[in-house]
Amino acid sequence: MHVEADLPGRVRAGLTAEAGEVLVVIGPNGAGKSSLMRVIAGLEPGRVVVDGRDWSDLAVPERRVGYVFQDQSLFPHLSALDNVAFGPRARGRARRDADRTAREWLERFGIGDLAERRPRELSGGQAQRVAIARALATEPDVLLLDEPFAGLDVSAQMALRIELGRHLRDFPGVALLVTHDAIDALTLADRVLVLDEGRVAQVGPPAEVAAEPRTPHVARLVGLNLVAVAEGEQLIAFPPDAVVVSLHEPEGSTRLRWHGQVASLAPHGDAVRLLVHASPDLLADLTPAAATELGLVPGREVWLSAKATAVSRYAARG
């Protein structure tokens, strides 16, 4: 499936996905992730072309799309069952038929016994299961999930993540899932799509995106330093524990060195993690003993150099 979406000033993105694929969409605040989802769903006016067919003027129910958005929560006056049956009914299925489908979906999510409850009588995790069941019950070609775990506590998130992963494996269409959490990308994605300033900055399998990030946002997410070199044509990435911190300019010919000011120090596992304001900002891990010996405090001027063997270098654009 090929999707082109254009919402001027907010997002302009093209993506291609195989049937059954899960694309996890990541990017910093304001990158256009929600805009992409909303324009595909038809909740914002914009241009959408799917496999050469122009969807732009199609109303929401005419699009073969299921969505779970934070602000499109369940109908409060309907039971869980009626919420899930709503989509099939709106698509013309007879009441008994739609109810049977809805009941099956609730059972698949392990909440068949909650069918008669109203949304306010459900926990956050249960309500989110109903919302996802409601989206899947319409048998969409595209499933859009915008931060489906937001607002749930950590253990509810983990349980729902595992369960959703199972349903996504069986889902025959294309799923797009927006998240801020690297765990979602690593556990749920077939491929990760990175949005930056409304454009697709990178697409690839999670391991590849994590190893060779092309945006500062993804580099931070996976805990790597990222520096543009060769007039911006290439990038180098290296982990914070491959950075040597010194108070004086390092000897030798290495060009992998930067001068900057310590912005913060924080415990990180057994190490101390420094954030140094240089160009660009860099992270460095060192032992607590070394941090004390160097007298590192915020504001201190330092030199950083990267161990060449720990640096990976790759093209800035794919």
Ligand X SMILES: Nc1ncnc2c1ncn2[C@@H]1O[C@H](COP(=O)(O)OP(=O)(O)OP(=O)(O)O)[C@@H](O)[C@H]1O
- Contacting residues toward ligand X, per CB under 6 A: 10, 27, 29-35
Q: Minimum CB separation from ligand X for residue 149, in Å?
A: 14
In angstroms, the CA 89 to CA 84 distance is 9
Q: Minimum CB separation from ligand X for residue 249, in Å?
A: 40
Of 147 and 285, nearer to ligand X (C-beta) is: 147
Of 28 and 206, nearer to ligand X (C-beta) is: 28
Of 31 and 127, nearer to ligand X (C-beta) is: 31
In angstroms, the CA 129 to CA 115 distance is 12
| H or E, element range at 292 | helix 288-293
Buried b (16+ CB within 10 A) or exposed e, 145-160: bbbbbeebeeebbeeb
Tell me which residue has tokens 């989509």. 87
In angstroms, the CA 124 to CA 67 distance is 17
Contacts of range 250-253, beta carbons closer than 8 Å, 24 or more positions apart: 250/303, 250/305
Of 10 and 129, nearer to ligand X (C-beta) is: 10
| H or E, element range at 318 | none
Of 138 and 179, nearer to ligand X (C-beta) is: 179
Of 33 and 129, nearer to ligand X (C-beta) is: 33
Strand partners, 264: 275
Q: And the tokens for 112?
A: 């068949």
Q: Minimum CB separation from ligand X for residue 314, in Å?
A: 25
Q: Minimum CB separation from ligand X for residue 195, in Å?
A: 6
**Antiparallel, parallel or unpaired: β 271-277 and 2-7:** unpaired
Q: Minimum CB separation from ligand X for residue 45, in Å?
A: 11
Find, among 218, 208, 212, the residue nearest to 182 by Cα.
218
Q: Minimum CB separation from ligand X for residue 30, in Å?
A: 4
Of 34 and 126, nearer to ligand X (C-beta) is: 34
| Residue 240 Cα to chain centre, angstroms | 23
Q: And the tokens for 143?
A: 């499933």
Q: Minimum CB separation from ligand X for residue 306, in Å?
A: 30
